[in-house]
Amino acid sequence: MASIRSFLVIVLLSTICLVNFAAAINGYRSSLREADSLLHKQLQETAQLLEGTLLDGAADYANTELASTSEHAWFQIWQQQRLRLRSPLAPGPDFALQDAGFHRLSFNGHSWMVLVHPAHHDTAGQRVIVVAQRADIYQGLMERMLLESILPIVWVLPLLGLVIWMIVGFGLRPLNRLARLLRSRRGGDFTPLQLHGCPEELDEVVRSTNTLLAELARAFEREQRFAADAAHELRTPLAALKVNLHNLAQEGRIPGDDIKPLMDSTERMGHAIEQLLALYRLAPGEGSLPVQLLDLAALAREVVADSYPQWEARQQQVELDARTANVRGDRFALQTLLRNLLDNAIKYTPEGGQIQLQIKASSAGVEVRLEDSGPGIPEDARLRVFDRFYRLGGDRHASKTIGSGLGLSIVDHIVRLHHGTIELGHSAALGGLQVRVWLPVLPAAGAGE
């Protein structure tokens, strides 16, 4: 259903038309019955009048024609099955009806109602009066009346449709207010809806929606609490484990080839914990992100400088092309976005490879484009890499790099919080992966609005 309003207008107009048409048809049929009854009565009166004026005392009369000025009626007088007298428009002797009563027949291109009336004063039953009137005149009159009763409805349909449209729109105003209230909500706002003057039919919808919002708030709270508690509880024993492994490596109690997998696993666990904490901080809550005006180019320079030890150790070449690009957003979130993108590029780009980070600003927003000379991501897997804990190739990835499967998922989450878009493709310049992030200009009130 495209629109409730359009549906109601169409249904109501159709119902009004059908009801009026049915009423007009019923009135037409009733009028036809009344017209037939009136016609029968007129024919009976005409036959009785002829019987009284022509037959009384006129048993023998010449076979002559009776002058008549009416074009819509005629009569015949039969005696002993012979036509004795007729009006000018009446049919000749070849036309004879034997059965008494009313008959409908066609004559001279018209429809006629005919009454065969035996004379009551003729005890021998040899005299018959036949009178007829045009029936199609009454039928045409009824058809004109039907048309005149339907045409005004057709003419007034546009005005009636406009009136119904306005009335339905007035009745749907509470539903429109509810829709605007829901559209204006920030992500993560689970406070109950407040819709004053709500009709009874919509009140149940509001109550159900508030119940659902309360359940969602509790579910998000449980998820955030679990992720935060788990990450904080794991940080301390993980730090102790790292220290112990470092001491064992220094003392030489365990061969280096045996301890390296343990240290790699520990690093991977620590990376996953840090990503979980970042995801917790960015998870939607009842408030909005702390939005401020930021220079994304300056943030990019900070991130590149902080990651220098990583890409320098792999002898990679990182190029940054960034000029002032102001954007409204959360500093921690955008910094995490740039860091995760660059960390992924460093991890999966081979030693001695190239990474290019470009930031361009326009009146509509800011574009972040990162390209590398790594293996890239197959086209059929570019959507799945945004799923939590998904890693291309699983733990047996050909790069042998440590990862948690949360980096791009967090990036996608940050982009959506800032109402932006992210696209993965093939880098034509470097042959690896190309990541394009578009962050639109946001109103001063914040990214969540």
Domain co-membership, 259 together with 341: no
- Report if residue 447 sits inside a domain: no
User: Across-strand partners of 107?
Assistant: 110
Judge whether 189 and 213 are in contact, CB under 8 Å: no
Rounded distance between C-alpha atoms, residue 322 and residue 255, angstroms: 46
Determine phi and psi for 319, rounding to 5 degrees: -110, 130
Question: Has residue 94 been placed in a domain?
Answer: yes
Same domain flag for 263 and 364: no
Tell me if 161 is assigned to some domain.
Answer: no
Radius of gyration of the chain (CA): 48
For residue 295, give both structure tokens.
Answer: 């220079």
Amino acid, single-letter form, for residue 36: D
β-pairing, 354-361 vs 317-322, is: parallel
> Is 446 within 8 Å of 291 (Cβ atoms)?
yes
pLDDT at 238 over 60: yes
Can you give the CATH number for the domain in which 39 is found?
A: 3.30.450
Tell me which DSSP letter residue 353 carries: -
pLDDT for residue 422 is more than 80? yes
Whether 358 contacts 434, CB under 8 Å: no
> What's the mean per-residue pLDDT of the chain?
80
State yes or no: pLDDT of 213 exceeds 60.
yes
Q: Are residues 12 and 152 in the same domain?
A: yes
Nearest to 175 by CA among 159, 153, 198, 194: 198
- Provide the pLDDT confidence category of residue 59 given band limits of 50, 70 and 90: very low
| Residue type present at position 441 | V
Asked if 263 and 302 sit in the same domain, the reply is no
CB atoms within 10 A of CB 109: 6
Point out the domain boundary residue: 256, 287, 318. 287
pLDDT of 35 over the 70 cut? yes
Structure-token match 């840090």, residue found:
274
Tokens 């343990």 sit on residue:
262
Asked whether 230 and 276 are in contact (CB, 8 A), the reply is: yes
Kindly state whether residues 323 and 240 are assigned to the same domain.
Answer: no
* Structural contact between residues 113 and 39, judged by C-beta atoms closer than 8 angstroms: yes
With bands split at pLDDT 50, 70 and 90, how would you rate the model's confidence at 446?
very low
Question: How many domains does the chain fold into?
Answer: 3
Least confident of 110-114, 278-282, 330-334, 373-377: 278-282
Cβ-Cβ contacts under 8 Å for 388 (sequence gap 6 or more):
405, 406, 409
Q: Is the residue at 13 inside a domain?
A: yes
- Say yes or no to pLDDT of 11 above 50: yes
Dihedral sign for Cα 115, 121, 122, 123, please.
positive
DSSP 166: H
Tell me what percent of the chain is helix, strand and coil, each rounded to the nearest 5.
Answer: 50, 20, 30
What are the tens digits of pLDDT across the range 259-296? 777 777 777 777 677 776 766 666 654 345 677 889 99
Please give the pLDDT value at position 154: 76
In a domain, 169, yes or no: no
Residue 342 lies in a domain: yes
Decide: 322 and 296 in contact? Cβ < 8 Å.
Answer: yes
Q: Identify whether residues 357 and 423 lie together within a single domain.
A: yes
Is 20 contained in some domain? yes
Supply the angle between the helices 256-282 and 331-348 in degrees, to the nearest 10: 150
Q: What DSSP designation does 55 have?
A: I
* Sheet hosting strand 101-107, strand order edge to edge: 82-86, 73-79, 127-134, 110-118, 101-107
State the CATH number of the domain containing residue 269.
1.10.287.130
Query: Of 226, 256, 287, which residue constitutes the final position of a domain?
Result: 287
Q: Is residue 96 part of a domain?
A: yes
Query: Where is the domain boundary, 135, 156, 177?
Result: 156
Q: In terms of residue numbers, what domain contains 311?
A: 289-440
Q: Identify whether residues 43 and 73 lie together within a single domain.
A: yes
Residues 147 and 197 in one domain: no
Contact 336, 414 (CB under 8 A): yes
Strands 421-426 vs 101-107: parallel, antiparallel or unpaired: unpaired
Share of the chain above pLDDT 90, in %: 15
